[in-house]
């Protein structure tokens, strides 16, 4: 059952109930016989039920319009493992191998201007806190040669920079990066997602996000 079906149906039920009440009572203040009382009662129940159905439809619609509720719901849960390859060495790694460290995963792309805006701040964050157990893992789904050329000629990638071959192979909630980037996750030393960050942020924001877990 979808919101696009529930909402019109519930509005129609409310309208029918209201019409029946008007036809039964008209301009009178209240019903004048048992039949009218019965009709008004049934119509009122229909309106109340339809109102509840309308509220449900609106809630369903809000979730459908918000593509990021999956990521937000993941906060407080264990971070699903996934594999990636490092841009510099092409060696394969996994998120699970980073357990025991604080991890800031940042999903980005070279075609994403907000991603590029925050990259120097991520470089700075990693340089200042890597000795304290922070790993800034930046991940793109672009080809390795494109990312290497970008790092050499545009913005130097000084984080733990990696790439993946296929977004669809990512587990949820990371797979939702198809709906927008940049997206970042703060994962504590026990492998639990502590914060989901949608959109570009600056150095001070990222510092504040990871500091409680370092």
Same domain, 83 and 36: no
Quick check: 44 pLDDT over 70? yes
Same domain, 107 and 129: yes
**CATH code for the domain of 205:** 3.40.30.10
Same domain, 50 and 79: no
Q: For residues 86 and 164, what is the distance between their CA atoms, to the nearest angstrom? A: 9
Q: Residue 182 belongs to what domain range?
A: 70-213
Domain count, the chain: 2
The CA distances from residue 67 to 2, 109, 141, 194, in Å, are 16, 19, 20, 19
Residue 84: per-residue pLDDT: 98
Say which residue the tokens 């701040």 belong to: 121
Reported as a single tens digit per residue, the pLDDT across 136-156 is 999 999 999 999 999 999 999
Residue 47: per-residue pLDDT: 74
Q: For residues 120 and 125, what is the distance between their CA atoms, to the nearest angstrom? A: 9
Model confidence, pTM? 0.69
Same domain, 135 and 53: no
Residue 102: per-residue pLDDT: 98
Quick check: 1 pLDDT over 80? no
Q: For residues 94 and 30, what is the distance between their CA atoms, to the nearest angstrom? A: 71
């Amino acid at each position: 059952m979808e919101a696009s079906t529930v909402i019109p149906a519930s509005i129609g039920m409310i309208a029918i109930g209201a019409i029946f009440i008007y036809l039964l009572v008209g301009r009178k203040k209240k019903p004048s016989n048992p039949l009218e009382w019965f009709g008004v009662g049934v119509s009122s129940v229909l309106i109340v039920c339809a109102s509840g159905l309308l509220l449900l439809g609106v809630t369903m619609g809000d979730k459908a319009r918000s593509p990021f509720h999956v990521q937000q719901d993941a906060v407080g849960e264990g971070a699903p493992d996934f594999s990636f390859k490092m841009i510099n060495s092409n060696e394969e790694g996994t998120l699970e191998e980073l357990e025991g460290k604080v991890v800031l995963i940042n999903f980005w792309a070279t075609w994403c201007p907000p991603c590029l805006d925050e990259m120097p701040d991520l470089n700075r964050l990693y340089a200042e806190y890597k000795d304290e157990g922070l790993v800034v893992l930046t991940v793109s789904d672009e080809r390795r040669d494109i990312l290497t050329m970008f790092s050499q000629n545009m913005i130097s990638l000084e984080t733990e920079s990696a790439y993946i071959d296929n977004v669809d192979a990512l587990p949820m909630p990371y797979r939702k990066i198809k709906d927008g980037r940049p997206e970042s996750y703060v994962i504590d030393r026990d492998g639990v997602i502590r914060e989901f960050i949608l959109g570009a942020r600056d150095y001070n924001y990222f510092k504040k996000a990871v500091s409680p877990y370092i």
